[in-house]
Structure 1
Amino acid sequence: MANKTDITDIDWTIPRKNLNPKTKQPYKRGRNWRIVAYPESLPEDWKDIIRQEPVAISPLHDKDVNPDGEIKKAHYHLVLNYKGNKSFEQIDEIARALRAPVPQRASSLTGSVRYLTHMDNPEKYQYDTADIQVFGGFDLENCLALSTGDKRQALRDMIAFISDNDIVHLKDFTDYCLSDEAPAGWFELLTERNTLFIKEYIKSTWQKIQSSNADKERQK
């Protein structure tokens, strides 16, 4: 089996291709970006390199595990939040200076920041929020909290998900909120103050399905 490319073999001066691995399309300009960095690759002065950038740095993720129980390679998550849009090329220049993999646009700033310690992923190791480092005026406290507007929109999305997927058991929805597929903040919204409402909504969804099935039986 061929060996993986050694870190010393990479020419970090060469710009990387702008390509979203999920959509296979170029990233558009944006304010929020994510970078994953590995300790063995980072230059000694890496924090000085990004000190002027509006960035939040996770604690070292050295206790993450794969589905098979194997410990993942230790890494840092970085979230950058600018007042104006930045291009992929601009962020890639920073990532290459850190000898890090290709950066990615962050679809949710709050979700990305909360992921720095797995706040919304209780099934994963919980890192200490106090160990998050920030530079460049990054507003960590504001990013960690879901805004009122975010909560309302998330609740709308949760209701739509329940309806679209005919969820009829609170357990099934809770399990989804605990999964990696669930949007950031759903588990928090479910458990903090909306459990009774969502439970009743799921119950009414079940009742509607039962009523519809009964009507169909009568029409036969």
Structure 2
Amino acid sequence: MKNEIDWTLARKNFNPKTKQPFKRGRNWAIVAYPDSLPENWKDIIRQEPIAISPLHDKDINPDGTKKKPHYHLLLSYKGNKSFEQMDQIARALRAPIPERVNSLTGAARYLTHMDNPEKYQYDSSFIETYGGFDLESCLALSTGDKRQALRDMLTFISENNIMHLKDFADYCMSEEAPAGWFELLTERNTLFIKEYIKSNWQKIQSSNADKER
């Protein structure tokens, strides 16, 4: 017999990634599972500024097995919220602990795996929003965001001595890549980045040749 979880009990504020407590923040994410959610779960969160992903029922684990179906919930407030406030919502949904979101745009785009082409691509038209959540502005990278992202991409190429476009493209497709990198690489900047990588390779080769003299 499985141990029943007491969802009325507050949970410890502990980030398993950093081993430190979550600080207060405006943007939070919760993963929820259909077999645990109460029947009226959408009524519980309807007043919150929230975006709900399509049901992720086609995700695959690294070993090829199917992941347990789940929803990604993204909450974005005008003011900071504490872990305890967000955990109260997560417990009402019978969900794992909430986690702070560093990039709202990245988290919004992850609702359908927009920047992760190696993963199943869910239909963004099935994203549901409540509480005035502005999905359109979250999904779009502004012109300033794109310029800064391109600068960051070039810095990454230089600092990591990237010498092949494939290596950089593989990184842009990975979960570690910042939001929008794959889009920027494939939609408009492929030729420029390819030439930058080529130039970086030539500079490294030239430097190595000078050292051998």
TM-score normalised by structure 1 residue count: 0.94
Report what 2:111 is aligned to. Answer: 116
TM-score normalised by structure 2 residue count: 0.97
- The counterpart of 2:74, out of the listed 76, 79, 92, is 79
The count of aligned residue pairs is: 213
Residue segments in structure 2 that go unaligned for 5+ positions in a row: none
Structure-to-structure mapping, 1:50-199, within 5 angstroms: 50-199=45-194
Report what 2:20 is aligned to. Answer: 25
The farther-off stretch of 142-151 and 122-131 is 142-151
Q: Deviations over 1:97-143 (max 9, x none)?
A: 00000000011101101111111111111110000000000001111
Secondary structure at the counterpart of residue 211 of structure 1:
helix
Q: Which runs of 4+ in 1 moved over 4 A?
A: none
Q: CA deviation at 1:167?
A: 0.3
Q: CA deviation at 1:11?
A: 0.7
Report what 2:39 is aligned to. Answer: 44
Rounded Cα–Cα distance in structure 2 between residues aligned with 1:61 and 1:187: 21
Report what 1:12 is aligned to. Answer: 7
Identity %: 80
What is the identity, as a one-letter code, of the residue corresponding to 2:202?
Answer: Q
Rounded Cα–Cα distance in structure 1 between residues aligned with 2:130 and 2:43: 10
Q: CA deviation at 1:84?
A: 0.7
Rounded Cα–Cα distance in structure 2 between residues aligned with 1:189 and 1:89: 37
Q: Deviations over 1:54-105 (max 9, x none)?
A: 0000000011011121111000000000011111111000000000000000
What is the identity, as a one-letter code, of the residue corresponding to 2:78?
Answer: K
Q: Deviations over 1:125-180 (max 9, x none)?
A: 11100000000000011111012222122112211111111001111101111122
What is the identity, as a one-letter code, of the residue corresponding to 1:182?
Answer: A
What is the identity, as a one-letter code, of the residue corresponding to 2:174?
Answer: S
Rounded Cα–Cα distance in structure 2 between residues aligned with 1:194 and 1:101: 39
Report what 2:204 is aligned to. Answer: 209
Secondary structure at the counterpart of residue 78 of structure 2:
strand
Secondary structure at the counterpart of residue 97 of structure 2:
coil
Secondary structure at the counterpart of residue 36 of structure 1:
strand
What is the identity, as a one-letter code, of the residue corresponding to 1:146?
Answer: L
Secondary structure at the counterpart of residue 60 of structure 1:
coil
